[in-house]
Amino acid sequence: MSRVVKRAFKYRFYPTPQQADLLNRTFGSVRYVYNRALAERSRAWTQEQRRINFADTCRMLTTWKADPDTAWLYEVSNVALQQGLQHLQNAYVNFWGKRARYPTFKAKHKSRAAATFTTSGFSWRNGQIKLARTDQPLNIIWSRPLPEGADPSTVTVSRDSAGRWHISILVEDTVPTLPPSGSAVGIDAGITSLVTLSTGEKVTNPRHEQRDRKRLALVQRRLSRKEKGHDKKNRAKARLKVARIHARMSDRRRDLLHKLSTRIIRENQTVVIEDLTVRNMVRNHSLARAIHDASWTELRRQLEYKADWYGRTVIAIDRFYPSSKTCSACGTIAATMPLNVRSWECRCGAVHDRDVNAAKVILAAGLAVSACGDGVRPTRT
């Protein structure tokens, strides 16, 4: 069996000077429209208790383009501007659905510069993509082929802080459903080990940030010595060196998580994880850097969408479930379990590795949730 899913294929590309200039102006225009629409929607609600929807912001965009002060909005593709308003609408929908915080303004130097084009904003011919208002196709490095017969529905062009240009192409792809597997696994996220599986396997945490910490500290010190406004070119070069180190760490981290999540999904029918609140956990300043480097949220995201693709199941148990303190053999809950305790013995005589035991308890709790359809919390004895 197989199913049709929407997949985004991301590639590097190298724009001509004219294309780079147009795209940079497009990024700025999209950011301006997004921020202005956000300001109008916030003002209308706080001052008038009036809700502005997506159609209203599109009419506002037409008015802004007619204003001589913002007539420069005509210089870029209107498709990209409308997609920026659509992204704002999606941000509000996620906020109303309690899946995200209230939308925030996009900063010029802190946000990833990006613009999205639907089919009316680009052309796809003979395996080449040409954006609206450009004179030639983009020079894309096809590091892997698109699915046969692919017909892109949306493309997103972006420039990261390291100055690299990327294009993300959304297409429909046929993904084969994996044959059923009788195995299930519980996953305990950690810092010493990136994850520990209920099978007893521990995946070493490569600590990408720690590998480049000395080099990163050096270039950051050099950047801090560059005065703003007086040494703009040298400051820009120094900032680029910092961004490239961060980009290298991010690429390594993402590559490892993709390989790990794909292997786990392929080998197991059911995957049980903890519903961790990383936002709260990073308030512990002693562990914040290591927690960010581990990227548990990204691992969960990859597991969930790959499980959906391949016909697997991911179960998230209660974040307050005492997995580390519960004996996987008899179910007894220990009174305390400090972080420095890496192995412990239950009164039933079972000796546990802290992380392996937690993974086993997570698996058992997840299977119980799946069986009865409700949360299960053990009783302290």
Joined together, the tokens standing for residue 140 give 């894309």
CA 381/CA 376 separation, integer angstroms:
16
Residues 6+ apart with CB under 8 A from 322: 333, 378
Beta-bridge mates of residue 3: 175
3-state secondary structure 32-46: HHHHHHHHHHHHHHH
CA 263/CA 185 separation, integer angstroms:
12
- Of 188, 267, 275, 345, which is the active-site residue? 188
- 188 included as an active-site residue: yes
CA 249/CA 82 separation, integer angstroms:
33
Residues, the chain: 381
Rg from Cα positions in the chain: 25
- Of 274, 293, 304, 318, which is the active-site residue? 274
- 298 included as an active-site residue: no
Q: Three-state SS for 203?
A: strand
Residue by residue, DSSP assigns 272-325 as: EEE---HHHHTTSTTTHHHHHHHTHHHHHHHHHHHHHHHT-EEEEE-TT--TTT
CA 310/CA 3 separation, integer angstroms:
9
- Of 173, 209, 293, 355, which is the active-site residue? 355
Q: Three-state SS for 155?
A: strand
Residue with tokens 């305790």: 341
- Strand intervals (E) in 55-121: 113-118
Amino acid, res. 332: T
Smallest Cα–Cα separation from 89: which of 115, 119, 51? Answer: 51
Catalytic residues: 188, 274, 355
